[in-house]
């Protein structure tokens, strides 16, 4: 859990700096920076998505995960929590705490480094990947918070819960977490990151939150293989 704690702290620190940094920045500059970030996120997504080991499993996982996500309506719950925070914390109608919270939470949680790093933390006590991710997230949170506001800082809670859960479960599921399973989980995460980028560019509105269960379908698949 040490790696995850450091990761969450780096997001908080970066967000505070970014929130202060955005004061006085013209709106047109914020828009251009946001577009640049969105394109960078797109590259990160493609890099992970193309490292799959079983393309059919990735497709099936996204389909099944989408069905489960719609039943649970995860996206709605994330937005409701973000809106709750916005009502509690916003000082003006210009604040977009919900958008910042949901967007940053998804970006920081569904990437390959979040999955693999948390697994290594739980399986081997190796914090190196999460420490590296902490540096990247800390820097990116400065940029995100400068455009999306304080909601980015609150996303550290999502990182703490999500990566912490994976770390705790990793030791229990270590026999199922083969290299291929981890690769396909990371690839699915990459696909979701591509979707986040498209949403950030306002090209579409994909319910990424409702696709989150997809990431864990390869573990179910591996469990079935071992049973039969």
Confidence at 92, pLDDT banded by 50, 70, 90: very low
Distance CA 66, CA 192 (A): 11
Instruction: Give the number of domains in the chain.
Output: 1
Mean pLDDT of 166-171: 85
pLDDT of residue 69: 93
Q: Is the pLDDT of residue 37 over 80?
A: no
Predicted confidence band at 93 (pLDDT cuts at 50, 70, 90)?
A: very low
Helix (H, G, I), strand (E, B) or coil at 174: coil
pLDDT tier, 71 (very low <50, low <70, confident <90, very high otherwise): very high
| Phi then psi dihedrals of residue 168, to 5 deg | -65, -40
pLDDT of residue 82: 74
Percent of the chain with pLDDT over 90: 25
Q: What pLDDT is recorded for position 67?
A: 96
**85-90 contacts at long range (C-beta below 8 A, 24 or more positions apart):** 85/151, 85/154, 86/151, 89/150
Neighbouring residues of 99: CB distance < 8 A, sequence distance ≥ 6? 82, 148, 151
Alpha carbon 145 to its chain centroid, in Å, reads 15
Q: Is the pLDDT at 166 greater than 90, yes or no?
A: no
Nearest in space to 37 (alpha carbons), one of 136, 117, 153, 176: 136
pLDDT at 108 over 80: yes
pLDDT at 95 over 60: no
217-227: b (≥16 Cβ within 10 Å) or e:
bbbebbeeeee
Against a cut of 0.85, is the pTM above it?
Answer: no
75: containing domain: 2-227
Q: What is the mean pLDDT of residues 18-37?
A: 76
- pLDDT at res. 25: 65
Q: Which of 50-64, 76-90, 126-140 has the highest mean pLDDT?
A: 50-64
């Amino acid at each position: 859990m040490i790696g995850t704690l450091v990761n969450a702290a780096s997001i908080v620190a970066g967000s505070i700096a970014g929130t202060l940094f955005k004061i006085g920045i013209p709106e047109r500059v914020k828009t251009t920076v946001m577009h640049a970030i969105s394109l960078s996120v797109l590259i990160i997504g493609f890099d992970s998505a193309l490292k799959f080991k079983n393309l059919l499993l990735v497709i099936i996982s996204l389909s099944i995960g989408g069905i489960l996500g719609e039943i649970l309506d995860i996206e709605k719950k994330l937005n409701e929590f973000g809106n709750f925070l916005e009502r509690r914390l916003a000082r003006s109608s210009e604040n977009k705490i919900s958008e910042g919270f949901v967007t940053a939470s998804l970006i920081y949680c569904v990437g390959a480094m979040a999955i693999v790093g948390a697994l290594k933390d739980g399986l081997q006590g190796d914090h190196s990947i999460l420490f590296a991710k902490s540096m990247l997230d800390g820097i990116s949170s400065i940029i995100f918070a400068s455009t999306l506001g304080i909601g980015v800082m609150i996303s550290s809670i999502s990182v703490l819960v999500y990566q912490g859960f994976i770390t705790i479960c990793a030791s229990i599921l270590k026999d199922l977490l083969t290299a291929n399973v981890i690769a396909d989980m990371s690839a699915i995460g990459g696909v979701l990151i591509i979707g986040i980028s498209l949403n950030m560019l306002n090209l579409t509105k994909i319910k990424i939150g409702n696709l989150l269960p997809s990431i864990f379908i390869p573990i179910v698949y591996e469990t079935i293989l071992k049973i039969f």
